[in-house]
Amino acid sequence: MSDVALAWMVLIPLAGAALLGALGSRQSGFSANVAVSLATLAGASFMTVRVVQDGSFSSLHHELFVDPLSVFLIDLVAFVSFTTSLFSRSYMRAEVRLGHLDPARLGTYHAMYQVFIFAMLLALTCNNIGVLWIAMEGATLSTALLISLYRTPASLGAAWKYFILCGVGIALALLGTIMVYFAAHSVLGGHRALLWTDLYSVKGRLDPAIMAIAFVFLIVGYGTKVGLVPLHAWLPDAHAEGPTPISAVLSGLLLSVALYAIVRFKALAEGALRTNWPGHLMIGFGLASVLIGAFSLSSQRDIKRLFAYSSVEHMGLATFAFGLGGPLATFAALLHMTAHALTKSSVFFTSGAVAQTAGTKDMDGITGLVDRDPALGWTLMASSLAIVGTPPFGIFASEFLILIAALHKAPWSVPLLLLALGVAFAVIVRRTQAMVFGAPGASQAPTPRTLFAPFAHLVLIVILGLAIPHLLAAWYTQAARLVGP
């Protein structure tokens, strides 16, 4: 009975997408979207209870599976997509009222939102590297439609760039997937050569030459989606031009899901190659992303672009830590993924609300928030302090652990990391401070909104920073063992 629970959890958003598409532009679509996301969250909790009781399990003839590496990401996707749907209800209503969005597109918006959540859950739960690829492609197509939702020239340009870059990326990832299948084909044969569970059991016997080339294609392919540095050109545009709830889930969830795919393949490639070469590749990509991401921050004027570059930096940091390998670095990277997902979505919730209230995304045009709307101002300040890694927030803990791991394994990289983190801290805090505490500008009627979602996230991030729950720590440790050499 509980074997099919996993399939149900994945199917809820898909069924929800059909329902929401049928509801179209009706007002009930907003609440239905929240209800579907809540149902997904309930499904995820049900699944989590099962994992806590029995450990990893698979269902549907081993087509779906959960293990410590995926379980916390699934919970994260379910939780953040739920809070985002709550935020989206008030935010998108205001967008329609302000005349930014044609209400006729609400049906597409809600349906594609759920298709996107479905694609991410499928990517995380499927046991099949082919289905993983299909899910990632599905996520690309659904988000391309979401980014172009406003149909403005800038949003169409951003969506086009996103589609073409991520399309090529995803095509290269398919070539990598084909090569992994080719390498595993001679060992396992047939359909089993696509299953993670079977691949891991024979990883030492895969052909190293093929796995090396395959991993290059996979890291470039899925890395495009993560926003690793030479391939990150789509990311700032997509985050800035799409609707804010989509920026939150893109940044918080999709990037992490793509990184999850790379991490799984890295474990496979390292097993086949018996060296840390795939890890070195990830260190290189990660460090470049951290540096370029941090140094691009200072030239940004658009509030959402600023935080988009911060995502490049944070994803680079997580990739770097996974590349270092070993229990400590992997633990830190997983914690960083979790903390980043929660913090960045909170940052986007608040900065979206700020931009909506101020009527502009230009940071020079936003001043004196704390006088106009104290709650919003302080939430933005707290979220920004959380994202730059101030204690007691979770990102502080994960960045601290990553630095310690780097001191052990690659001491040369520590000054570079500190420099990048310092620059990011200075730029983001200076920018936010000017927006929150600056002289009050032209007064604008504040739009009614709920700050429940960012509050909930901030509370969780503080908990994560002060005392990581025992269960989560146990999952991280087990996952680190799974990924580790």
Query: Least distance in Å: CB of 204 to other proteins?
Result: 16
Query: CA Rg, the chain, in Å?
Result: 21
Tell me how long the chain is: 485
**Residue 178 interacts with other proteins (CB under 8 A)?**
yes
Q: How is 425-439 classified by DSSP, letter by letter?
A: HHHHHHHHHHHHHSP
303 binds other proteins (CB under 8 A): no
Within 8 A by CB and 6+ apart from 154, the residues are 237, 241
- Interface segment toward other proteins; rule CB under 8 A; list 207-215, 251-259, 326-334, 420-428: 207-215
Among 298, 133, 310, 290, smallest CA distance to 239 is for 310
Q: Which residues, other chains included, contact 476 with Cβ-Cβ below 8 Å and sequence gap of 6+?
A: 68, 72, 330, 331, 334, 335, 468
Question: Shortest gap between Cβ of 359 and other proteins (angstroms)?
Answer: 16
Answer yes or no whether residue 419 interacts with other proteins by CB under 8 A.
Answer: no
Query: Nearest approach, Cβ of 100 to other proteins (angstroms)?
Result: 16
Q: Under the criterion CB under 8 A, does residue 205 sit at the interface with other proteins? A: no
Among 60, 94, 96, 168, binds other proteins (CB under 8 A): 168
Min dist CB 347 to other proteins, Å, is 22
Give the interface segment with other proteins, choosing from 26-34, 185-193, 270-278, 431-439 (CB under 8 A): 185-193
Instruction: Rank residues 129 and 292 by Cβ distance to other proteins and give the closer one.
Output: 129
Which of the stretches 33-41, 164-172, 220-228, 407-415 binds other proteins when contact is defined by CB under 8 A?
164-172
Q: What is the nearest approach in angstroms of other proteins to the Cβ of residue 340? A: 26
Closest separation in Å from C-beta 144 to other proteins: 7
DSSP 27-53: THHHHHHHHHHHHHHHHHHHHHHHHHH
Residue from 8, 46, 57, 181 in contact with other proteins (CB under 8 A): 181
Q: Which helix (H) or strand (E) holds 274?
A: none
Q: How far is the CB of 279 from other proteins (least distance, A)?
A: 21
Task: List phi, psi (to 5°) of 445.
Answer: -65, 120
Using rule CB under 8 A, residue 174 touches other proteins: yes
* Residue with Cβ nearer other proteins (78 or 119): 119
CB within 8 A of 362, min separation 6: which ones? 301, 302, 303
| From 23-31, 75-83, 165-173, 276-284, span contacting other proteins (CB under 8 A) | 165-173
Cis peptide before 392 (omega within 30 of 0): yes
**What is the sign, positive or negative, of the torsion defined by CA atoms of 326, 327, 328, 330?**
positive
Q: Which residues of 434-463 are buried (b: 16+ CB within 10 A; e: fewer)?
A: bbbeeeebeeeeebebebebbbbbbebbbe
462 scored as a contact of other proteins (CB under 8 A): no
The set of residues, in sequence order, having a beta carbon less than 8 Å from that of 368 and lying 6+ positions away, is 437, 438, 439, 440, 441
The H or E element containing residue 65 is: strand 64-66
Residue 351 structure tokens: 């900065």
Please give the size of the binding site for other proteins, defined by CB under 8 A: 42
CB of 109 to other proteins, least distance (A): 14
The reply on whether position 153 binds other proteins by CB under 8 A is yes
Q: Which of 7, 14, 213, 434 binds other proteins (CB under 8 A)?
A: 213
Contact between 11 and other proteins by CB under 8 A: the answer reads no
Q: Are the C-beta atoms of residues 313 and 289 closer than 8 Å to each other?
A: yes
423: left (phi over 0), alpha (psi -120 to 50) or beta: alpha
420 binds other proteins (CB under 8 A): no
Q: Which CB sits closer to other proteins, 136 or 380?
A: 136
- Burial label, 189 (beta-carbon count in 10 A; 0-12, 13-18, 19+): exposed
Find the DSSP H helices in 410-469: 413-437, 452-466
CB of 143 to other proteins, least distance (A): 11
The residue type found at 296 is: S
**Where does this chain touch other proteins (CB under 8 A) — which range of 50-58, 126-134, 331-339, 442-450?**
126-134
- Least Cβ distance, residue 108 to other proteins (angstroms): 10
Q: Residues 244, 249, 252, 258: is their CA dihedral positive or negative?
A: negative
If you search the block for the tokens 């002060």, which residue do you land on? 466
Name residues contacting other proteins, limited to 129-148 (CB under 8 A): 130-131, 133-134, 137-138, 141, 144-145, 148
Using CB under 8 A as the binding rule, the residues of this chain from 314 to 353 that contact other proteins are none
Give the nearest distance from C-beta 131 to other proteins in angstroms.
6
CA distances 341 to 96, 248, 470, Å, are 27, 9, 19
**Which of the residues 220 through 279 are near other proteins (CB under 8 A)?**
237
Give min distance, CB of 155 to other proteins, in A: 9
**Interacting residue with other proteins among 194, 226, 268, 329 (CB under 8 A):** 194
Q: Cβ 193 to other proteins, closest distance in Å?
A: 8
Residue 160 as a binder of other proteins (CB under 8 A): the answer is yes
Q: Tell me: does residue 189 bind other proteins (CB under 8 A).
A: no
Q: Which residues bind other proteins (CB under 8 A)?
A: 128, 130-131, 133-134, 137-138, 141, 144-145, 148, 151-154, 156-157, 159-161, 163-164, 167-168, 171, 174-175, 177-179, 181-182, 185-186, 190-191, 194, 207, 209-210, 213, 237
